[in-house]
Amino acid sequence: MTHLTALMEMTAAEWRQALELTEAEIPDVVIVEGSWWREQRTQWRLSALADVRELKFPDIFWGRWRDKTVVYCCAYGAARTVEIIHLFGILGAKLAVQIGTCGGLQPHLNPGDIVLPRVALCREGVAHIYGAIDSVAGADEWIDRAAQQLAARGHQTVTGTHLTWATLFGQTGKMIETWHRAGYLAVDMETATTFAVADYFGLPAVSMLVVWDDLTRNRSFLDPLSDDELAALNRANKSVFEVALDLAAHL
């Protein structure tokens, strides 16, 4: 039989050629955002960058911010997130940043608060492929720096243990109660994947997740927010991307 190879075994040079990136264009920071609202989020985020272009693979955008190079992708769920962090991890990006929203699992969290996981439990089905069996940690130095910058913008932040789950719809009330009692701060669908794949390639990673669903009060994204809650949510969503860019200045 012919010797078989697969995408996991492709080299950095092969991926760079496929993406049509030069060595000088390898991004300093790769930012992934988990959201249903791909078009809206992409327009928002790319408006802050210069010299933007879509790479050869769809919905992956390269641009400049000050003297840094940035890749942004709205990547919903672990299956898409792994592709982005793998690509730019193997290419040699210097920092991975996960942004998006999450469901709060503790009653002291409110819409617009920002969770910065120090440890993410891997229940999304991807992280174990990259060596993270049960949990995976983010980069404390970058978590602390991000928390400081968010606090300076007036945001309520919290760090601790977080859960990454496989699907938004496959969650039950019993699960949520178990997660709450275990002390997990929040739940999302991407952070453990970002942390695990980044760690596999020796890339520091940080996640900044805006609380939207208020799961301990039976409030999901289907339920309306008050005007103040909506304003806090929108302001936090704006700030996490701004801080992601500001972190690049420290590279």
Query: Could you report the per-residue pLDDT of 118-147, keeping only the tens digit for each?
Result: 999 999 999 999 999 999 999 999 999 999
Residue 126 inside a domain? The answer is: yes
Residue 28 inside a domain? The answer is: yes
Residue 154 inside a domain? The answer is: yes
Residue 2 inside a domain? The answer is: no
* Domain count within the chain: 1
Per-residue pLDDT, 209: 99
Query: Which residue, among 29, 27, 12, has the nearest Cα to 244 in the 3D structure?
Result: 29
CATH number of the domain residue 231 falls in: 3.40.50.1580
Residue 18 inside a domain? The answer is: yes
User: Residue 96 CA to chain centroid, in angstroms?
Assistant: 8
Residue 82 inside a domain? The answer is: yes
Here the tokens at position 122 are 């891997």
Residue 47 inside a domain? The answer is: yes
Query: Could you report the per-residue pLDDT of 106-122, keeping only the tens digit for each?
Result: 999 999 999 999 999 99
Q: Could you give the CA distance from residue 197 to residue 85 in angstroms, rounded to a whole number?
A: 6
Residue 1 inside a domain? The answer is: no
Here the tokens at position 223 are 């339920």
Q: What is the pTM of this model?
A: 0.97
Domain membership of residue 235 as a residue range: 7-248
